[in-house]
Amino acid sequence: ALLPGGLDMLILNHIGHSYFNYFDGDVDHIRKLLETNFLSYVAMTVTALPMLKESEGNIVVVSSVAGKAPGPFAAPYSATKFALDGFFSSLRHEFIIENVNVSITLCILGYIDTGKLNATGARGLRRVAPSPKEECALEIIRSGALRQHELHYPPGIVNGMLLLRGLAPGFLDTLIRSNIVVENVQRAPPPHGTRVPPAGSPGSGR
Ligand SMILES: NC(=O)C1=CN([C@@H]2O[C@H](COP(=O)(O)OP(=O)(O)OC[C@H]3O[C@@H](n4cnc5c(N)ncnc54)[C@H](OP(=O)(O)O)[C@@H]3O)[C@@H](O)[C@H]2O)C=CC1
Ligand SMILES: CC(C)CCC[C@@H](C)[C@H]1CC[C@H]2[C@@H]3C(=O)C=C4C[C@@H](O)CC[C@]4(C)[C@H]3CC[C@]12C
């Protein structure tokens, strides 16, 4: 049944927790992350579509540069973000072919100042200035309302990366790796609930 007030915009933004480290071989983590980061987006789109057709509304999918040009230590996350591009960019074609007037906006975000990256243990990132979350949120809503196919935010860094990826992909990969301090990434993170060795102890990677 349709909601009485209707629905104008569906913003798909949530993500499950992942790690910033070498892929640890945990296939079940990938399966669960795909469920949270990808399949739930598809399910919510299917459920909301009748209402969005009614309002000629907008679908906004929040992704990352890791969903266009992956860096190391984010294999599970990157896989879920690439899946979003494949699915929603294909679906957009179908909407245009069938004259379904529901827009799809894929947001390619760089590093945003949410304080989450440190919490995830991404100490390996060299100082890349984070962009403000308030401006980011406004750009996400605006790009959806303007029915743009993609949002690149911050524009300078993201457009630069995507342009370089087209012209010289090998050079972009080198540039991405040079922005990561491999020494600060500890191999084999302990399982959940296990204590992390204190900073300064052998192998703690400081
Ligand atoms: N921060 C950044 O630098 C970047 C972020 N992005 C993208 O921006 C978006 C937002 O990221 P950010 O705010 O940093 O992420 P956070 O990890 O801070 O927030 C994720 C949110 O998703 C919610 N969530 C997790 N699991 C579920 C679930 N199963 N059902 C419903 N809600 C759930 C969490 O709720 P709760 O806390 O209650 O669990 C939390 O509010 C993501 O799509 C991310 O990929 C892209 C590039 C860079
Ligand atoms: C070269 C630089 C200019 C830009 C490189 C930036 C790269 C390395 C940045 C940009 C987006 C970042 C990822 C992100 O979006 C969110 C998460 C989710 C979290 O659960 C685990 C960490 C992870 C994967 C971040 C890892 C680092 C990423 C790939």
Distant-in-sequence, close-in-space partners of 132: CB < 8 Å, separation ≥ 6: 112, 113
Please give the distance, rounded to the nearest whole angstrom, from the Cα atom of residue 147 to the centre of ligand 2: 26
pLDDT at 24: 95
- Give the residue, by CA position, lying nearest to ligand 1 atom 9: 13
Condensed to tens digits (0 to 9), the pLDDT of residues 45-71 reads: 999 999 999 999 999 999 999 999 999
Question: Is the pLDDT confidence value at 143 over 60?
Answer: yes
The span from the CA of 178 to the CA of 205, in Å, is 17
- What's residue 124's pLDDT? 73
Q: Which residue is it, tokens 């959940």? A: 192
36 CA to centre of ligand 1 in angstroms? 10
Cα dist. 72→23, 27, 33, 77, 80 in Å? Answer: 9, 17, 17, 11, 15
Q: How much is the pLDDT for 41?
A: 99
Overall average pLDDT of the 66-85 stretch: 97
In the predicted structure, residue 104 carries a pLDDT above the cut 90: yes
Write down the pTM of the prediction: 0.90
* Catalytic residue numbers, as ranges: 77
User: CA nearest 106: which of 135, 76, 72, 83?
Assistant: 83
Question: In angstroms, rounded to a whole number, what is the distance separating the alpha carbons of residues 68 and 158?
Answer: 10
Average pLDDT over residues 141-160: 98
The answer on pLDDT for 35 being more than 60 is yes
SS3 102: coil
Rounded to the nearest integer, the mean pLDDT of the chain is: 90
Write down the pLDDT at residue 116. Answer: 74
Can you tell me the distance from the alpha carbon of 154 to that of 107, in angstroms, rounded to the nearest whole number? 11
Atom 46 in ligand 1: residue holding the nearest Cα: 64
